Structure 1
Amino acid sequence: MEEGQALMELTRETTMRTRSRRNYRWDRYKYYYLLLLPAMVYFLVFQYAPMFGIVIAFKEYRIVDGIFGSPWAGLKWFERLFSAQDFWIALRNTLIISCYKLLFVFPVPIVLALFLNEIWNVRFKRWIQTIIYFPHFVSWVILAGILHALFSSSTGILSAIGISVSPMMQPEMFRGMLVATEIWKEAGWGTVIYLAAIAGINPELYEAAKIDGASRWQEMFRITLPSIGGTILILLILKMGHILNAGFDQIFVLYHALVYQVADILDTYVYRVGLSMGRFPLAAAAGLFKSAVSLVLILLTNTIVRRMGGSGLW
């Protein structure tokens, strides 16, 4: 009897302590929770609520019947998707373009951040940052107009040097144009995260390296780069999760019929099939396939990073 009362008393005390801790956390962080609320509402409304539309991929969807009123079709649309030649061409182009961007675009912000960190003149450093950040705020629509004007074989700079065929019209050069324009537009903005990580490095490490006689290059490769290695790995994991996002905005405003075979990606395929042709279930099936592959890739990359000794995302 006494043991039962002692156990009940202990449980009551534990409950009171838990409530007290919760009340303390709420009183201390309630304004932070309020600041977080708009972001949570945004994700619930625009990210999670639309997931109910995934069921379209498994139905004979008709607009008049609605999503839940349309009859089930099983895996019919996935069978049609995987048997369509255009889908496999779009998947191949997506992987090739994403791999190009991963190899050639991903390292550029790291290199830029390392060199910007070595600039001691603050005014000059800010001037350089402004120049390389600016293209990020130029929309792809405007940039496409500029590129078409510059590389026009009749009125652009190519006509002035005697080139009669624009590289934007040649399938073998179009992917290179995508990579080059992506670097020009986004590489500077990508340095923001790396510069923030560099700013958190302990200055005493550099002071100790100078005392030991280390050069600027040695400080860069022995201190700066290893210190931001965790940030690089996290961004690499996130990049792998978006490997099937080859850049819809960029490609949609730049590609045309002459380069469809090398530039049509999954996003443009979904847009063309879903919105232009009105085949919503097939487009939903393609989108679901893309999301499933992205999830597998991000889980796989995170596991590899963890086994290699990195921290990973979780």
Structure 2
Amino acid sequence: MSSAQTEQAVVAESVHRVRSEPRKRAVGDHLRRYWQLWLMVLPAIGFIVLFAYVPMYGIQLAFREFDVTKGLTGGEWVGLKYFTQFFNNPQFGQIMVNTITISLWTLVMGFFAPIVLALLINQIGSKQIKGLTQTITYMPHFISTVVMVAILQIFLTPGSGILGRFFGQTSLMGDAGAFKHLYWISEIWQHAGWNCIIYLAALSSIDMALYEAAKIDGAGRLQLIRHVDIPALLPTAGILLILNMGGVLGVGFEKVYLMQNTLNITASEVIATYTYRVGILGNQFSYSTAIGLFNSVVNFAFLILANFIAKRVSNTSIF
């Protein structure tokens, strides 16, 4: 190495040391100043590491031939065998169509319903009526999935149910064409009131001077909603949409499985229920792990894509 190269290396090392030392001091000062807060959040960090990151060790099962006597890492390495098996499965197309259809219906309708509900509740002048309306709308959120599906079955019983009597002897729970609509409508009814709370919080933070200025300019109620309320909700709505896109293929297993029967299985078989059948009931653990990993990768890709688009369009993003 020449003297010039040696001198450049020394200068580069000195610059790196000068830049890193203030950064280290800043981190040390931050920890000394806020160590109580870090101590409080430490159990949550440990919980996430234990239940979200440690289980990732088992992902390798998707690339191995599982042998219960050899554990997760003792099986033969088979590469992408189980991914190929899933893609070549005759049910792959139908499963993906069902999963995407149900997810998108739930995502789109479940995204707008809380916003509309929050805007309507925000227009109620009486605090008592407003509080009562909020309570009534978010109470269904606390109904368990089992009870919710039981309510659907009772209401839709052909001939005797509150709603079923309007369809004669046709069972909507056994109608493959009605399955996705029953799913997303019941999801909205159950969770729209709860999900609108965050939008109501955003609306409550709006400066009243904006309403007064708009009224002076002659704005009516619809103009107030359009030019004051909706712009205030857009940043919150953008963040929630990005987060929801991360679970676009994550159709709830419990509800779909409970609503599923032999008559509607062509429309209700989704990735989650198929994984349960082949993995738990069929003891194909490597195959089911590969399907679950594929599902997670697709969800992650949707999350990154949604975040990128939102950042370019509205400068709103989560990272």
Same fold (TM over 0.5): yes
2:129 matches 1:124 = yes
- After superposition, what is the alpha-carbon deviation per residue over 1:91-123, rounded to whole angstroms, capped at 9, x for unaligned? 110001111112322100000011111112111
Deviates more, 1:265-274 or 1:243-252: 243-252
Q: Which residue of 1 aligns with 2:161?
A: 156
- Contact 2:137–2:194 (CA<8 Å) still a contact in 1? yes
Q: Which residue of 2 aligns with 1:261?
A: 266
Stretches of structure 2 that go unaligned for 5 or more consecutive residues are: 1-9
Q: 4+ residue runs of structure 1 moved beyond 6 angstroms?
A: 11-14
- Contact 2:257–2:273 (CA<8 Å) still a contact in 1? yes
Q: Distance in 1 between matches of 2:118 and 2:257?
A: 30
- How much does 1:232 deviate? 0.9
Higher relative contact order (CA 8 A, sep 6+): 1
Q: Distance in 1 between matches of 2:112 and 2:24?
A: 49
Q: Which residue of 1 aligns with 2:77?
A: 72
- Give matches, 1:163-202, under 5 Å: 163-202=168-207
Distance 1:112 1:268, change over 3 A: same
Deviates more, 1:26-35 or 1:153-162: 153-162
- How much does 1:161 deviate? 5.5
Match for 1:113 among 118, 127, 149? 118
Q: Distance in 1 between matches of 2:121 and 2:246?
A: 28
Q: Which residue of 1 aligns with 2:7?
A: none
Q: Which residue of 2 aligns with 1:100?
A: 105
2:244 matches 1:243 = no
Q: Distance in 1 between matches of 2:66 and 2:316?
A: 44
TM-score (norm 2): 0.89
Q: Which residue of 2 aligns with 1:287?
A: 292
Distance 1:22 1:120, change over 3 A: same
> Secondary structure of 2:248's partner?
coil
- How much does 1:19 deviate? 5.9
Q: Distance in 1 between matches of 2:287 and 2:19?
A: 58
RMSD: 2.2
- Structure 1: which amino acid aligns with 2:222? W
Q: Distance in 1 between matches of 2:165 and 2:200?
A: 41
- Contact 1:158–1:164 (CA<8 Å) still a contact in 2? no
- Contact 2:164–2:171 (CA<8 Å) still a contact in 1? no
- Structure 2: which amino acid aligns with 1:236? L
Match for 1:302 among 282, 300, 307? 307
2:146 matches 1:141 = yes
Q: Which residue of 1 aligns with 2:232?
A: 227
> Secondary structure of 1:60's partner?
strand
Deviates more, 1:183-192 or 1:145-154: 145-154
Distance 1:158 1:228, change over 3 A: closer
Distance 1:13 1:302, change over 3 A: closer
Q: Distance in 1 between matches of 2:24 and 2:315?
A: 36
TM-score (norm 1): 0.91
Distance 1:45 1:160, change over 3 A: same
- Contact 1:133–1:188 (CA<8 Å) still a contact in 2? yes
Q: Which residue of 1 aligns with 2:5?
A: none
Q: Which residue of 1 aligns with 2:4?
A: none
2:308 matches 1:312 = no
Q: Which residue of 1 aligns with 2:30?
A: 25
- How much does 1:21 deviate? 4.0
- How much does 1:252 deviate? 1.3
- Give matches, 1:52-67, under 5 Å: 52-67=57-72
Identity of aligned residues (%): 36
Distance 1:174 1:14, change over 3 A: closer
Deviates more, 1:96-105 or 1:292-301: 96-105
- Structure 1: which amino acid aligns with 2:49? L
Aligned length: 306
- Contact 1:109–1:190 (CA<8 Å) still a contact in 2? yes
- Contact 1:158–1:166 (CA<8 Å) still a contact in 2? no
Q: Distance in 1 between matches of 2:19 and 2:271?
A: 58
Distance 1:118 1:291, change over 3 A: same
